[in-house]
Amino acid sequence: SQQGEEDPQALSIQEGENATMNCSYKTSINNLQWYRQNSGRGLVHLILIRSNEREKHSGRLRVTLDTSKKSSSLLITASRAADTASYFCATPTFGNEKLTFGTGTRLTIIP
């Protein structure tokens, strides 16, 4: 079963624009993580935000976390063609011994 549901499922934007993806989850968490996956390859960790944090930045990435709404968002600013990928949120569950992934957002950057 999926802990996280991501919205939108697919997103196409022009290069240079900002991209925002949202993730909702069901149970209480210690942290939430975002990953990127290029087509058919392994997952690359982008950022981890802990439950006591509300916002975190890493380069062109900005992540917010609202534990009251059980939701998180990932903002990619000034998008580039290389940002084309699928993006997943993930939360630890089962006593923090596994990650449960969302359904993913497929992001396409149009040059």
- Closest to another protein by CB, 17 vs 45, is 45
Beta carbons within 8 Å of 40's beta carbon, 6+ residues apart: none
- Separation between Cα atoms, residue 23 and residue 105, nearest integer Å: 9
Q: How far is CA 11 from CA 18, 25, 28, 49, 60, in A?
A: 11, 20, 28, 23, 18
| Nearest residue (CB) to another protein, 1 versus 14 | 1
Beta carbon of residue 95, minimum distance to another protein (angstroms, whole number): 8
Task: Please give the residue ranges that form the binding site for another protein (CB under 8 A).
Answer: 2, 30-31, 33, 35, 40-45, 48, 88, 90, 92, 94-101, 103-104
Smallest gap from Cβ 98 to another protein, in A, equals 4
What's the DSSP call for residue 52? T
- Closest distance of CB 27 from another protein, Å: 14
Query: Of 11 and 13, which CB lies nearer to another protein in the complex structure?
Result: 11
In angstroms, what is the minimal distance from the CB of 81 to another protein? 22
Nearer to another protein, 18 or 38 (CB): 38
User: What span, in angstroms and rounded, lies between the C-alpha atoms of 104 and 102?
Assistant: 5
Joined together, the tokens standing for residue 88 give: 């997943």
